[in-house]
Chain A
């Protein structure tokens, strides 16, 4: 790949994830920005004008951000890892300035607090409560100035309060004793403390409504307790909610928005705004219906405190900004039209600016239900970011519509003049007579090629839709040409309701892929979701049109979903049959049609599947038995039986990885001709499972076991009969194991504790029972029987070959290229710890490699054996880019046999085309048609000239 080819056949998108904290930084001149931390452990600085990323850091997967603030006007402070890591990032460029590790011994709530106007030597102090301790840290260099341990007091600190030169810490012991400690801000010395037993237990979090007042709900959520602290002394009052509002049934929740002397209480579908007077009395200010989100308060010069809330109405939202102390005057009232596929407003942050007429304007940063981020100003969406795409959980590929005759695609076609102009420029480039301007124009033309962004199928199969399911329950269709969002839908089955409290999307399946009706019917996909993290939570299905993104149908299932099995059968409308296994050990057939029942009855004895119970170390094989014996007759429900089971000894083996072949993989050649003209037959059964088991002591992370305690046992199992085809032990090795199974081989990556390096091994499985077909010439002339069917009941005599190599890097994901016919050689796509994807030729993982290969072996392409696998920089298909937070790699065959499409997802997305054996079946992108035409013209001209010359010479001959 050349540097100027970046972006031609690949695209790269950067995201940040769902925003948790946001801070506006608009002081002084220079760029205005928003600083955010997200649920994907990203800390980023965004351009307030356009929403683009200025800088971004993706922290470790265990390094969850707990707090975000600005210190000294120039450092972004993040608190993470449950309050144990404090970092300062340089605000302009994101360079980490310092990092502090805060020691502590117990898990506790994490609080990051930067006091304002504290005059301790003009050195800004950072107060952190984490791990049961209060730390005071210097903003300049991250040094811990003092530390106060509250573990002995068993206090669960909720709030840090600042007073002149004094710090107050408030919290609960148990859920009904309220404590306050006063500390010297300079050295952490305890000055005073007080506590009070409240009359009842409390529910939820304590909310501070001013420097000295707090509110909290009682356990029954029917009363509001007001707690007052004056000079370190505690007093309280309580008030039933029914005194404030008549209809007080339903569960009340105090919203966490921080408003001075005001707080928001959500009850039923309303939000009550309640004022706390100086005497601690509660007064109802307003009741807002259909309120979605309430912001924190924002201090405005002139002493006002503004806050915002949002109401929903159809596809519009109403944005209000009010002064906390002057309820009847609206500082801002706007109506914004928002795409309803974004869902409700989840969070809102506000910022103010001065307009040209010197009055105050407000802008609002909204985090939507689908995890996208919008900036709203003057009733308009200034910019939006689709940050739901940072949490892709599953991917499938779909074809684009077939191009119909007569349908105009003129919008994306270039006219003839532009086409000629482009080719003239390209010709200049090829002949090296292009100027710098021309080179830039050529590159822009290539990047903006309209051909690759069309919305119809191309004959190479490069243009497809990548359909991705995100954690927010939204499905996006991305065009493989340029990565743009073609359609998106926020599935109503995966939105939070009272019936479905924690919806999560699980998987996407191909549901209907019409081939015979390609012009009449659109393909559709199936999305399976659940209403909670537990396997026993209710399940939902959604069917979506793959071309338009419309939801065709949805089902709330009466049963749970433990496993979804696509079957290799389709009905007359080309819908694929699926079996859904629930936790009560029943199998349900979908689609629920009589035709599907008929198909399943015909194939009843051919339906097998397996299940892995990793916690108990058991793998079982299953087959259908009969219809369920239920109270309610359901002809689509089937009971099943266990055919076989494998129980691994729990004291020595624990399942840490399983992998199986892709069901739609194509194997072009079942036979492999070896160097000495011997023929070996691949064992190409699709019903194979690779299992990796680690010793229990070594099933954790690296660094937790010694080589003597560790071992890794791998199995290759036939999932129809339960027969173990291969077993091998790697002593002194442990996980994590990443593996991929393709054709008749499996490649897996693990850690060798003795060498303290990563290794990769390959196991190839061959069928020795077919060895009588060894005549190479029969094979060459096509006379031997390749079409004999393979049955799982046929007891193959398998032989395996294996080899191991060192590999330098940790690995996050492994995939293998796939092509339409399986002819092209394979490459492994290895997602490394540096969030890059390396393409490694399968020939480097060939068990036949030896130190001194013979001449015949060299001719066949066998590479001499080395102890480690090579990492060639130019083999990184992500070239100089990173797919931050890499989680998975998906390969899709193109129609062109030489090419695979590769999609890598994590916090970022990356797509490219890859040709493991080079593009032997097409002209390369660099091919210049203009040069070819010029050559033809030159040849024709030369022919003409030589013809004229020969005529003249002939004439001279005749005159002689």
Chain B
């Protein structure tokens, strides 16, 4: 919130990182915090979290800085931090992802990160919907329905249809290529 004044060369940025525990909104167990890094200005400085989630950067010059949090499993927005020389190191912070200002300097992840795809549980429907399942379904339909259709057809009509097909002859190649005329 209100940074302490260091020596005349720079100021101190204090902040806190909150990581919700899975299932509850309580703070996470220390083991997971210990691998979180807080990074100032693209790697110029790196620090770590204390057990209560607080971090600090000392001797920071006045101006605009960028703070990022790197934590496996969580997505944190980088934070724009303005350190004011006129107000003795008072800081204003805003998330760069959604441009939301922070009234107090507490960073929380925007979302969890799932690095793995989740396997769908085995089910009959997934087999039926797979390409092989669809093909088998179609074949079954054809096998059972086509004989019934054939039985209903009159032999004379069948003979007439065959003669019509024979009379049409071989289709020409030109009709199959709609762009052929253009190329000619």
Contacts and interface: CB of A to CB of B under 8 A. Distances in A.
Given A59-B46, A96-B50, A103 B34 contact: no
Contacts of B77: 808
A917 to B, nearest CB: 17
Nearest to A880: B115
B119 A2 contact: yes
A833 B48 contact: no
Contacts of B61: 703
A879 B7 CA distance: 43
Contacts of B183: 777
Interface string A758-795: 10000000000000000001000000000000000000
| A3, A60, A703, A833: residue with the most chain B Cβ atoms closer than 10 Å | A703
Contacts of A835: 70
A98 B50 contact: yes
A704 B48 CA distance: 23
Nearest to A755: B96
A75 to B, nearest CB: 13
B68 A833 contact: yes
A328 interface: no
Contact of B51 (A1, A97, A105): A97
B1 interface: no
A572 interface: no
Interface in A798-813: 808-810, 812
B70 A833 contact: yes
B64 A880 contact: no
Interface stretch (A258-266, A333-341, A869-877): A869-877
Most chain A CB inside 10 Å of its own CB: which residue of B77, B117, B182:
B117
B86 to A, nearest CB: 15
Contacts of B73: 880
Contacts of B34: 55, 57, 93-96
A640 to B, nearest CB: 39
Given A2-B116, A101-B58, A95 B30 contact: yes
Interface string B93-129: 0001100000000000000011111110010000000
Contacts of A880: 72-73, 115-116
B21 interface: no
Contacts of B68: 809-810, 833-834
Interface in A875-907: 876, 879-882
Interface string A1-19: 1110000000000000000
B42 interface: yes
Contacts of A551: none
Nearest to A81: B45
A93 B31 contact: yes
A755 B68 CA distance: 15
A101 B6 CA distance: 10
Given A101-B59, A703-B64, A880-B72, A2 B41 contact: no
A933 to B, nearest CB: 16
B84 interface: no
Residue of B42, B46, B65 with most partner-chain A CB within 10 A: B42
A893 B179 CA distance: 39
B48 A99 contact: yes
A736 interface: yes
Given A99-B48, A703-B63, A876 B115 contact: yes
- Residue from A2, A756, A777 with most neighbouring chain B CB atoms (10 Å): A756
A95 B49 CA distance: 8
Given A1-B116, A702-B42, A736-B42, A57 B30 contact: no
Contacts of B80: 756
A359 interface: no
Interface string B51-72: 1000010110101111010111
A810 B43 contact: yes
A701 B41 contact: yes
A751 interface: yes
Contacts of B39: 60, 810, 833
A757 interface: yes
A702 B179 contact: no
Interface string A314-345: 00000000000000000000000000000000
A60 B45 CA distance: 6
Given A62-B44, A777-B183, A833-B43, A702 B51 contact: no
Contacts of A96: 34, 48-51
Nearest to B31: A93
A63 interface: yes
Contacts of B33: 95
23 contacts: A2-B116, A57-B34, A60-B44, A62-B45, A93-B30, A97-B51, A99-B48, A105-B7, A701-B41, A703-B41, A756-B64, A757-B78, A810-B43, A833-B42, A834-B70, A834-B71, A834-B72, A836-B72, A874-B115, A876-B113, A880-B116, A881-B72, A882-B72
Closest 6 CB pairs of A and B: A60-B46, A834-B70, A101-B58, A873-B113, A810-B42, A702-B41
Given A93-B31, A101-B12, 16 more contacts: A1-B115, A60-B45, A96-B34, A96-B49, A96-B51, A105-B7, A703-B65, A736-B42, A755-B96, A808-B96, A810-B39, A810-B66, A810-B78, A833-B42, A834-B37, A873-B113
Interface of A: 1-3, 55, 57, 59-63, 87, 93-99, 101, 103, 105, 432, 701-704, 706, 736, 751, 753, 755-758, 777, 808-810, 812, 832-836, 871, 873-874, 876, 879-882
